[in-house]
Amino acid sequence: MAVVYKARCHLLKRFVAVKILRPELVENEEFVLRFKRESQSAASLSHPNIVNIYDVGQEGDIHYIVMEYVDGKTLKEYIREKGRLDPEEAARICIQICQALSHAHKNGIVHRDIKPQNILISRDGDVKVADFGIARAATTATVTMAGSNVIGSVHYFSPEQARGGLVSYQSDIYSLGIVLYEMVTGVVPFEGDSAITVALKHIQEKITPVRDINPEIPKSIQYIIEKATEKDISLRYKDTAELLKDLRRALKEPDGNFVSKDKNKSALDEQTTQVMPPIVLHEDRIDRKQKKNEEAKRKKRAVLITVFSVLFVSGLIMTLVLVGSSILRQHFGTGESEVPKVEGYDLKFAETIAKASNLKLQVTDRQYSKEVPKNYIISQKPRPGMRVKTNSIIEVIVSDGVKMIKVPDVRNKLLRTAEIELENAGLTVGEPLYVYSDKPSGYVVDQSIKANTEVEEGMEIILTISKGPELVGNYVGFTEETAKQMIKNDGFEVGEIIGEYSNEHTKGIVIRQDPAHGEQISDDRKINLWVSLGSEPDRRLRLKIDMPGIQGFARIKVVRISDDTVIYDNYHDFSQGPAYVDVEGKGKVDYDIYIDDIWFSRETIDFSKEE
């Protein structure tokens, strides 16, 4: 039905799955309707075991659904890889599927196509139910009409689906029972040369017990599968809550005999002593038959006499009525009245008008109307000006006024979910407003009309949608003036401007900011900038050389290690005190000191420090 693409959302920096209806199916109204039904069904559901719907839309002939991307594999692939699953693992997977179905059923949605291909297992082991493409609300609309195509996957659908009958919540339970069967055995219960063959087996044949295929399967799992896949819907689990209870208990009591079965199932096999009707001999039967025939003849004669009597009396009455009517028409005649206009008048006033014309008013229907006020007449029959018999009836349709709708509360819901809920309530959704907020992107922050307010049907509701938290832009690498303008354009304020030497950035370029790019803006909405002052200039410092043990002259040589440059070479009289050598540089510089050409020490000078 569709092609699914893996895509990346640049706004939220995450992968999503985009389902697009195949181009060749766009002209097919049934497939388009089914595709839309999937989006509406799934969008109304929010559960950790159901694939989330993020967005739904249409661009030209392209119909698409943006969904949660599940990094993993289908349950079908998982079963094929392992051959069959451990019963405990199968039960845990089944519990998660059952929880998803329980949520869908509580929201009035029957999936109708539960199969391993529609169940996804993430790398973390989370189970998610997908593909609500043929899901429907659990109403009379779930009946598949005879002669129409049966919808569902033939190896997994229920007997009532195969027959084209009423599809209910228990149909999903049957399909889930087949899925559990396949998980613990590695095979489906019914195979055939064609889909019809398999469908007939679902209706007619019994499922082979799973313990006949694998004796190691716990008894409780077999009993659960047998009850979930009962062909008689009255013997099946009545709802997912009952099935969930047994699945959880099976984890604790694998061989327990706690699965209850309908006691009526074997009523014919467990009958107690009964009072039988008496057995009649052959002669008695002939005697009674003759008596019965004679009695029938007597009754037949009595019926004929009664019928002829009734016909005679009826004919006499009809003759008298016709004669009487003819006399009345000849001597008294029948009055006529002209139909007055009552359309557009208040009902009580219209009744007065009709009465004045010797006519009667009868309300045949009441309808909501935006044009006609409440209790005023929308239309009448017969039309004004026609002549009718006196005491005839004027049928009228009366206005119930404008239909009032109670506005639902859609705050904290996804945009598409909110739109569907409002439209289903009879309201119109206007162009949404987008704002930054603490709520996740795509969720409703506010609505233009408060919840539970009564408004006219079709009233427009404007939704305010979250764009997510407001994040700081990137201003590093721009000039100071450009960065300031960008900050103002983004709706923020310029904070402190701090100068800082930089050997990597030219003077006037922003080298750092706070808050940093991509962080959430602070409450004061101010952004501080560090601006380059250019390369750090050389500084002049004095290097002190003290030699207390030397009295008199000694040769001092100072060499800068980085480039072996001799920056000082001279004699000094240490009896006069320490020697001082002026040095220039920036950052940290290492110097070797020699006394009389003998290495004495290594000194490191940090020119960035003030001392």
Options 61, 113, 409, 573, the catalytic residue: 113
Q: Which residues contact 485 (CB under 8 A, 6 or more apart)?
A: none
Contact 79, 92 (CB under 8 A): no
Residue with tokens 């997977």: 93
At 358, is the secondary structure helix, strand, or coil?
coil
Burial 571-599 (b: 16+ CB within 10 A, else e): ebebeeeebebebebeeebebbbbbeeee
Cα separation, 352 vs 175, in Å, equals: 65
Q: For residue 122, which of 43, 41, 68 has the smallest C-alpha distance?
A: 68
Cα separation, 5 vs 19, in Å, equals: 6
Cis preceding linkage at 382, omega within 30 = yes
Residue 606 structure tokens: 């940090």
Give the neighbor-by-neighbor strand order of the sheet with 127-129: 72-74, 119-122, 127-129
Structure-derived torsion over alpha carbons of residues 281, 283, 287, 293, reported in degrees to the nearest 10? 80
Q: Which residues contact 416 (CB under 8 A, 6 or more apart)?
A: 39, 43, 53, 55, 56
Residue 589 structure tokens: 């510089």
Burial environment of residue 541 by CB neighbours within 10 A (0 to 12, 13 to 18, 19 or more)? middle
Contact 347, 378 (CB under 8 A): no
Count the alpha carbons within 13 Å of 501 in the hemisphere toward its beta carbon: 9
113 noted as active-site residue:
yes
Catalytic residues: 113
